[in-house]
Amino acid sequence: MNIASHIEHSCLKPTATLADIEQVCLEAVQYHFAAVCVPPMFVKKAKALTAGTLVRTATVIGFPYGYNAIEAKLAETVLAIVDGADELDIMINLVALKNKDWQYLAKEISTLLNVVRKSGKSIKVILEASMLNENEITTCCDMYGAAGVDFIQTSTGSAGSFVSLEILKMLRRQLADAVQLKSNDGIDPISAAEWIAAGAERIVCNDPLRKDGMIFENRSRDYN
């Protein structure tokens, strides 16, 4: 299994430095990862550092809580696209969800998806699946699947809670086949294959590899 092609190298911590961004981009290129995901202010830099490679540049919108106004998320999305983002990771409005305002959420995704599609970019919708009940997860899968998003992402990774492998499997069963799954749930390289087999097309690897204990040096054959 080519695990490297499923890895999205991410550095979204609030203390991220330019050196951190440079390192994750260097590693993503070195190990042929699928993408890097960086804060909006570093999109231009990440795009330049991965130029001429197949590594895609992703950034986050409405991160990490999602309760930004639709107009604010729209402005973030437009700026990210102008800066060169290939993929937009949009956090849904959890406040609207918990208040069962599905009409608001439908308007939000319709507004943002229209701009993303006109630009030829990809869109990921981030849930905090561990904070949702089964009915909420099912409704989200149905609504965002019908909208035609590219990915559903399990969590932000910043809320201190992660989904289980069983929840990932439930998401995969509920989602339309065309919608891919991205897991951001503290997965290590050893267990990555299991999560991919369960339906995760993307696996998040957080922060520079040398800092989080995921040593790729002398083991690159395990990931290609």
pLDDT(158) > 80: no
Looking at residue 209, its pLDDT comes to 72
pTM for the predicted model, two decimal places: 0.90
CA 53/CA 110 separation, integer angstroms: 31
Q: How far apart are CA 206 and CA 155, in angstroms?
A: 13
pLDDT of residue 186: 65
Q: At residue 212, does pLDDT exceed 60?
A: no
pLDDT over threshold 60, residue 219: no
d(CA 201, CA 61): 21
Q: Which long-range contacts (CB under 8 A, 24 or more apart) does 69-74 make?
A: 70/107, 70/108, 70/111, 70/112, 73/108, 73/112, 74/111, 74/112, 74/115
Residue 160 predicted with pLDDT over 70: no
Q: Domains of the chain, with CATH numbers?
A: 3-223 (3.20.20.70)
Average of per-residue pLDDT across 173-192: 85
Which tokens belong to 63?
């991160």
CA 121 centroid distance within chain: 14
| pLDDT average, residue stretch 163-173 | 91
Segment 112-134, tens digit of pLDDT: 999 999 999 999 999 999 899 99
Read off the pLDDT of residues 16-53 as tens digits, 9 standing for 90 and up: 999 999 999 999 999 999 999 999 999 999 999 999 99
DSSP 91-133: E--HHHHHTT-HHHHHHHHHHHHHHHHHTT-EEEEEP-GGGS-
Tell me how far apart the alpha carbons of residues 27 and 19 are, in angstroms, rounded to a whole number: 12
One-letter amino acid of 85: A
At 215, is the pLDDT very low, low, confident or very high (cuts 50, 70, 90)? very low
Cα separation, 123 vs 89, whole angstroms: 6
What is the per-residue pLDDT for 189?
60
What does R_g of the chain's alpha carbons equal in angstroms?
Answer: 16
Q: Please name which of 78, 201, 112 lies closest in space to residue 151, comparing C-alpha atoms.
A: 201
User: Does residue 144 surpass a pLDDT of 50?
Assistant: yes
